[in-house]
Amino acid sequence: MAIVEFAFLAAPFFALLFAIIETALMFWTSQVLEESLSRVARSLITGQSRTIYNGATGAANAAKFRDDICAVAPMGLIDCTKLFIDVRVYDNFAAASSGTSASNPISGGGLSTGGFTYVQPQGNDIVVVRAVLDYKLFLTSWASAALANIGSGRRGIVVSMAFRAEPFVSSGAAPAAGS
């Protein structure tokens, strides 16, 4: 009798347990990505990015920025091959909130990252940074189906930051008098 009762209760119990674990891992990955992006984006705020990300192309800078995010993330939780970076500069916050940065990179059941770019900020620029991770869910049961938003067993995790860069002096320019 106890075995029959256990059989009836075990399946829903373990399904719920695995759903909780799947959701917790997804939220943890999202938090790790947010914190890693915040730490690496500090170089954009302070102007250090001008020397760190000085590649010949925006794609090379985006790749280095992505690699730095992955290096900061603990335990290799973020798959760098599935992380996409978008760094844009705007004249004001209104333009940033209505521009390309406001568009959702998750559309039509897939990721739309083709227009992502890397623009090196100058002092006082409004900068919007987005990191989009194509996250593979571990379970393929009913629990992960509710979490998937870019295909079966996959979820797009989007982390964004908007800030004004510090008034650093761009390389080659002389500091203003009295600075």
Task: Note the pLDDT tens digit of each residue in 6-52.
Answer: 888 998 888 888 888 888 999 999 999 999 999 999 999 999 999 99
Q: Give residue 64's pLDDT.
A: 95
Q: Does 130 score more than 80 pLDDT?
A: yes
| Maximum average pLDDT range among 17-26, 80-89, 91-100 | 80-89
Mean pLDDT confidence for 145-151: 83
- Answer whether residue 179 is part of any domain: no
Q: Give residue 179's pLDDT.
A: 43
- Answer whether residue 83 is part of any domain: yes
Query: Are β-strands 110-111 and 126-136 bridged in parallel, bridged antiparallel, or unpaired?
Result: unpaired
Domain extent, residue 152, equals 2-164
Q: Give residue 110's pLDDT.
A: 86
Average pLDDT in the chain = 86
Distance separating alpha carbons of residues 98 and 106, to the nearest angstrom: 17
Mean pLDDT confidence for 136-160: 82
Distance separating alpha carbons of residues 151 and 165, to the nearest angstrom: 36
| Residue 169 pLDDT grade (very low, low, confident, very high; cuts 50, 70, 90) | confident
Q: Does 101 score more than 70 pLDDT?
A: no
* Position 66, amino acid: R
15: exposed, middle or buried (Cβ count in 10 Å: 0-12, 13-18, 19+): middle
Higher confidence at residue 100 or residue 105? 105
- Answer whether residue 94 is part of any domain: yes
Q: Which of 38, 162, 34 has the alpha carbon at shortest distance from 94?
A: 162
**Domains in the chain, number:** 1
Q: Which residues lie across from 118 on neighbouring strands? A: 87
Of all residues in the chain, the percent with pLDDT exceeding 70 is 90
Mean pLDDT confidence for 53-68: 92
Q: Which residues lie across from 85 on neighbouring strands? A: 131
- Answer whether residue 61 is part of any domain: yes
Q: Which of 155, 134, 131, 111 has the alpha carbon at shortest distance from 23?
A: 155
Contact 156, 32 (CB under 8 A): no
> How many angstroms separate the first and last alpha carbons of the chain?
83
Q: Does 174 score more than 50 pLDDT?
A: no
Element (H, E) at 164: strand 154-164
Question: How many helices (H) does the chain have, and how many strands (E)?
Answer: 5, 5
Distance separating alpha carbons of residues 32 and 24, to the nearest angstrom: 12
- Answer whether residue 64 is part of any domain: yes
